[in-house]
Structure 1
Amino acid sequence: MQNKITVGIIREGRVPHDFRTPFTPDQIAQLNIEFPAHKFVVQHSPFRCYSDNEYLSKGVEVCNDMSHCDILFGIKEVPVDELIADKTYFFFSHTIKKQEHNRKLLQTILKKNIRLIDYECLTKATGERLIGFGRYAGIVGTYNSFLAYGKKYGLFDMKPAIECKTYQNLIKEIKPIKLPPIKILFTGNGRVSHGALEILRLLKIKSCTPDEIRTKKFNEPVYAQLMEENYNEHKNGRNWEMLHFYKNPSQYVSTMNQFISSCVIFIHCAFWHREAPVFFTNETYLNPEFTIKVIGDISCDLHGPIPSTLRSSTNEDPVYGYDAGTQKETNPYLKNTVDVMAVDNLPCALPRDTSNDFGIDLSQKVVPALLSGVEDDMIDRATITKGGRLTMPFEYLSDFVQ
């Protein structure tokens, strides 16, 4: 018979605090019913989007000390001084790309014999991710991009998404706006871009092809969705093959310049590889034909494909300006600058909605496998450390943690 497992939901220790939670009060209550042989508890938090009392009202135990828990669920990186030795942790560690700022975190996890399971690595056997906040990143980032456009041209005034509190309030805020016949580009075809599409469709903006947005005139607002093959080509003219591009991004050049004179808003939702060509250079912005005035860099790759993304912005103050002449940041909404929306934690603007959807996925796709009592391939694939060592798929991090 399987031993009783105590699962704890930890408070977010990073500053500024993240308001999200892996599970809502209703979800924890339901999990305690579905898995009576085990127990789910919540750590006290003064800033979580659901109060302690909301968990208590559902019969969920709230406590400060989590040392009695076997498995701990969080959202963002856990501060190293809050890590408890010999436990299993679930959170977004941001270590698998050798992010320098989290080197000490991974070193401490190994030293403390912690099993780290990273949400980003929870995938199907095909490699498709199972868990994430991408949809809401797309929703909030696209909303804030229109906020920037409205303020820049004095057409409408929307409050930042974080002040909307919920997705329904955000819809009420953006739905009444009327757009002139502008052209909008966005990249990507994953969860983030699907979230962006929700907002574009909510506004009843007509879609068109990449060729049409370059060559045709419209008397209504339109958007085009760009895939990698629409803005990259092989240096030697090789026929497009997606797999070859993913494996050899340095062999390609950007063709994004073909779109610079046709669009006003550019929303970046796609994954960008560090060896792939950049979308624009600063010289692109100085081209008299460059018409893009608002860039929603939802992917927020610093020192990446978009030179105007100088820094991450915040949900409270999501937009800043960029002067291509000086290559420096300015106040937003000036006449001759490009406005940049580059928030790096967009889903946190709607913490209750994002927590609810995230908790549904965890409850349905992860918890049953976790508590089944047998080894599970999905859980194993997402395990970065175990027994004080890096697991085989993540041994490439060895030099990073030495």
Structure 2
Amino acid sequence: MSFDRIREKLSILADAAKYDVSCASSGGKRKNSNKGLGNNTGVGICHSYTEDGRCVSLLKILLTNHCIFDCAYCVTRKSNDIKRAAFKVQEVVDLTINFYRRNYIEGLFLSSGIFKNADYTMERLIQVAKKLRLEENYNGYIHLKSIPGASDELMRQAGLYADRLSVNIEIPTKSGLKLLAPDKKHEDFMKPMKKVKHEIIKYQSEKKVLKSTPTYAPAGQSTQMIIGATGESDRDIMYSANFFYKKYQMKRVYYSGYIPVLEDHRLPAIGTAVPIVREHRLYQTDWLMRFYGFSVQEIVNDTYPNLELDIDPKLGWALRHLELFPIDINKADKKMIARVPGIGMQSVYKIIQARKYRRLDWDHLRAMGIALNRAQYFITCYSKQFYSQDLTPLQLKTKIMSNSSSKYHNQFTNQLSLFN
């Protein structure tokens, strides 16, 4: 096939893949062997930035944008009048190897529209990964999208060649899925998730006994939810995310704000895209659940079904629980220090370590990089001064926002790349 036709396919199918954000690779550790190509040592591989500022990249494409389904929110739905294309298995293999040799990419993220049926599509995705591993001796990162409804045997095979597997739940609730994707069944999404979870546990257990046991999906599995296509509250979204973390041991749940690209009476009108700040608040809530010890019910619940867009969820929680503050930074336990607005987990560990040798005052905390423009209202330390002055939650919120608006805006801007 001509180079121009390959380039045309790449343009179409790379553009179609841009709506999928679930392409991080944290957790994968695939070592190079037998002088093969590439390696995967656990760094993130996606169009994003690492903590030291490096940009990492991957070939992110669909195998095809042909699809038998007619999901209202999807640009590749069968009723949409768009240009269609499909890669052959060997074309994807060749592109991946050639791009890697030229240092264009560090891995492959491969998804697909569903053509013929779920198993047929999943088989072709697996063929790409299998050829890369066995024929090209490629040891770089591979992320395969699990096709809803694929058989258990195919999901077992997929995990033997891919570093991460993901199946996008797409819509947070069953009712929303039924409205926008009536051809799809909720249980078809759950089935591959369950299989991958069980296979990961099985292979990890067997490897403890038999070292030659192959690695199965070392970077785990992830999923993605489209936000704002239906009327789910932030509570609905985060309760669903919590379910996936607990039930299926997800590495990550991604939140993708709906982008109106199609006219459909079931969808928000064109021009009403979800504010990026809403995505950001969901990612922050996700962070608090996974790393800060918060339960989902503490942040969003029946009383507070939606996150505040003007302040972060940790500050929102603290303002609702002023009776717990101030805490003494020299005596409080790690859990409570982590709940103070303006104190991140790295700072928590610095505080715990430093107070073994001295009683900490404001200057010590400032030197640690703690955001005292927020934290000062919720803590006391060696200097004893406390700044709340018996303010109401609303007054305190207004004061914090007015005193730190520029710093807060800059921090929000800088953090966007970390959560997306």
Structure with the largest fraction of strand:
1
| Bigger proportion of residues as helix | 2
Q: Bigger radius of gyration, 1 or 2?
A: 2
Scaled by the length of structure 2, what TM-score is found? 0.27
Give TM-score, length-normalised by structure 1: 0.28
